[in-house]
Amino acid sequence: MKIRKLVLVGPVRLSGEVQISGSKNATLPIMAGALLAQERCVLHNVPRLKDVETMARLLRVLGMEVKEDYPTLTITPRRAKKTLAPYSIVRTMRGSFCVLGPLLARHKRAQVSLPGGCVIGVRPVDLHLKGLAELGAQIKVEGGYVIASTRGLKGAKIYLGGMFGSSVLATANVMMASTLADGVTIIENAACEPEIEDLARFLNKMGAKISGAGTPWIRIEGVKRLTGAEHTVIPDRIEAGTFLIAGAMTRGDVVLKGADPQHLGAVLDLLKRTGVGLKVYRDGRIRVKGKRRIISQNVATLPYPGFPTDLQAQFMAMMSIADGTSVITERIYPDRFMHVPELNRMGANIKREGPYAVVQGVRHLKGAPVMASDLRASAALVLAGLSAKGRTDISRIYHLERGYERLKEKLKGLGAELWEEKE
């Protein structure tokens, strides 16, 4: 792999319009859901991202034909019954673990590599396995693989909460598996994220009978077969939130097009409390106008509709130049703080204690060489670099390409000065 770094020169005041892409975290489980179909599925508004390409690669290994014509993907089943999702792919992207439920439901067996560790924390898969076992799957873990089989899944009442509340991808896995189960499944403490609702919408177009998605109780009535379907993926609420914070933090004036304000309640509320100007237009556009003074705010990440963990790092970057002290509590991934030392290298004053970060706002950040550790931490460093004085070099930017479509171009369109260099 050619290692590149991103160079930014700040401070810049972002201004203009930016188009929000389709949601990465809605696209990935929906692509896995296409494994359930007996015919071709067509997906629109799919972002061109490394993670989406990885999922396309996995689907091909699993015997599907995938035509990538972004923002459209066409996924067609071929005859072959391939049920092995290899370590070489699954380890690079945890989202790929949600092929387990569809493979099991469609082919009655599946062998999917365990995803392994991840820089944002331990990330176990016990809830996925518990849910599938309660649907009647035999599950064993051997040689780093989950091997699941069944003579036929049976609907069940499944409580799917864990230590940290609901799980997005476990809900997706169990919901997908139960679409073809015999009888009715109720998932209790289901994840309420819009990405789950979007997946349910897609599955219903395929002929599934799902109600309650978007609430903690999902009811699925099993059907015999699922057909192909055409679906448009929802906008990416995390990309939208990242641009809103970017506008606020650079004291800019940015208009988001194509985002869904309905999915951004907690984010818009928190930003308002920091004193920025926000306006949601009838046509769904959102305008953010940064103010000179940013008021510190405490926040805790929570499952939807709470403030998302995927925006914690970006909000911390903003709080690092706010007026006052804020406490940021990470309740989903207590170790998701890799960005703290990097922001401190840029002059921030952040102390971490367990799942808490205490951020004492400073007047401004200063450019520095920093390192991207994961997708959202990298986004936080980009925001910090845009608002900092001088040059910031962010190494390992391949993380950004996993989840932000054409980020460089979009930021340039808003007036940012940035380019790539070889490391």
Site residues, ligand EPU (CB under 6 A): 25, 28, 94-95, 123-128, 162-164, 167-170, 191, 308-310, 332-333, 375-376, 403
Distance, in Å, from the CA atom of 2 to the CA atom of 405, rounded to the nearest integer, reads 19
Q: What is the per-residue DSSP string for 48-83?
A: --HHHHHHHHHHHHTTEEEEEETTEEEEEE-S----
| CB of 41 or CB of 332, closer to ligand EPU | 332
Three-class DSSP labels, 207-257: CCEEECECECEEEEECCCCECCCEEECCECHHHHHHHHHHHHHCCCEEEEE
Per DSSP bridges, beta strands 253-257 and 15-19 are parallel
Residue 13 vs 50, nearer CB to ligand EPU = 50
- To the nearest whole angstrom, how small is the minimum distance from the Cβ of residue 297 to ligand EPU? 20
Rounded to a whole number of angstroms, the minimum distance from the CB of residue 58 to ligand EPU is 13
118 is catalytic: yes
Q: Which residue's CB is nearer to ligand EPU, number 30 or number 276?
A: 30
Q: Which DSSP letter does residue 327 get?
A: E
**8 Å CB contact between 154 and 181:** yes
Is the bond leading into 71 cis (omega within 30 degrees of zero)? yes
Contact between 312 and 333 (Cβ < 8 Å): no
Residue 413 to residue 416: CA distance in whole angstroms: 7
At its nearest, how many Å lie between ligand EPU and the CB of residue 179?
19
Token digits of residue 294: 């940013």
Question: Nearer to ligand EPU by C-beta: 17 or 126?
Answer: 126
Q: Report yes or no: 392 and 371 within 8 Å, Cβ to Cβ.
A: no
In whole angstroms, the minimum distance from the beta carbon of 162 to ligand EPU comes to: 4
Nearest approach, Cβ of residue 379 and ligand EPU (Å): 9
- CB nearer ligand EPU, residue 150 or residue 171: 171
Q: Which residues of 176-195 are buried (b: 16+ CB within 10 A; e: fewer)?
A: bbbbbbeeebbbebbbbbbb
Closer Cβ to ligand EPU, 216 or 390, answer by number? 216
The first and second tokens of residue 351, run together, are 């102390």
Count CB neighbours of 302 within 10 A.
16
Shortest distance in whole angstroms from residue 296 CB to ligand EPU:
24
**Which amino acids are annotated catalytic?**
118
